Amino acid sequence: MDFSLGGLIQFGYLVIALVFTLTFHEAAHAFVAYYLGDPTAKLRGRLSLNPIRHLDLVGSVVFLITQSIGWGKPVPVNPANFKHPVRDNALTALAGPVSNFLLSFLMALIWRYFGGYLHPILLLFVQMIFHVSIFLGIFNLFPFPPLDGSKILGLFLPSRLHRKYEIFLYSGTKYFIAIILIDVFILERLIGFSIFGFVMSYLHDIVSSVLLLGT
């Protein structure tokens, strides 16, 4: 991390962008779950744009360390309230990453068509949201709990594997966090780069190019 004044200011924008995109991401989960018939998130105050309700301490710290990997507090969902539990649970999970890509596309439009009229500070904020939202959307599509991709995965598994899948969702988070920490603090020193960071940067470049091209 750059501890110069400019570096600290940019880091501050990164934190603000993270809070903004995480809030948007988690609120999208809550909204889609409620729309599909599950009021659990709404009853627990998660159908909200209040960032405090959505921030996950571990996920936020990991993002601030890696500046590319992170997650919010999982939105509570009760699949029993859905008409089609497996499908609707997957759609609820998918809502988060989709919201991130839509938010990034909106920021790309503002950047391209209004960037020349914006104050440099505001333009930097728009750019930060654009990039952070892409990172968040891509990362959450990986099929590891507690990420959204792990819930989307259930849509493609045969029913005979659903019991093992539920165990995977329940117990897999601690292993995933351990893998992330090993990747960031050990592998990066051994091989010179983070594997997750490399994959995320590669996918980010592809998605950002597509979104900017689409504007």
Does residue 166 carry a catalytic annotation?
Answer: no
CB 137 within 8 A of CB 149: no
Give residue-wise pLDDT tens across range 126-140. Answer: 999 999 999 999 999
CB 127 within 8 A of CB 111: yes
pLDDT at residue number 34? 97
How many residues comprise the chain? 215
pLDDT at residue number 3? 63
Query: Of residues 21, 23, 24, 26, which has the active-site annotation?
Result: 26
pLDDT at residue number 153? 92
Rounded CA-CA distance 88/82 in Å is 6
pLDDT at residue number 21? 92
Which sign does the torsion angle of CA 97, 200, 144, 18 carry?
negative
pLDDT at residue number 60? 76
pLDDT at residue number 205? 96
Rounded CA-CA distance 145/152 in Å is 11
pLDDT at residue number 45? 93
pLDDT at residue number 68? 57
DSSP state of 73: P
Tell the burial category of 12 from Cβ atoms under 10 Å away from its Cβ (0-12, 13-18, 19+): exposed
* Concatenated DSSP letters of 124-174: HHHHHHHHHHHHHHHHTTSSSTTSHHHHHHGGGS-GGGHHHHHHHHHHHHH
Of 105, 57, 102, 62, residue with least CA distance to 196: 62
Rounded CA-CA distance 41/74 in Å is 10
DSSP state of 186: I
For 185, the token pair is 């603090």
pLDDT at residue number 100? 96
Positions of the chain with pLDDT under 50:
none
pLDDT at residue number 8? 76
- The neighbour count for residue 167, using CB atoms within 10 Å, is 10
Rounded CA-CA distance 133/172 in Å is 25
Give residue-wise pLDDT tens across range 69-115. Answer: 667 788 999 999 999 998 999 999 999 999 999 999 999 999 999 99
Question: Is-cis flag, bond preceding 146, omega within 30?
Answer: yes
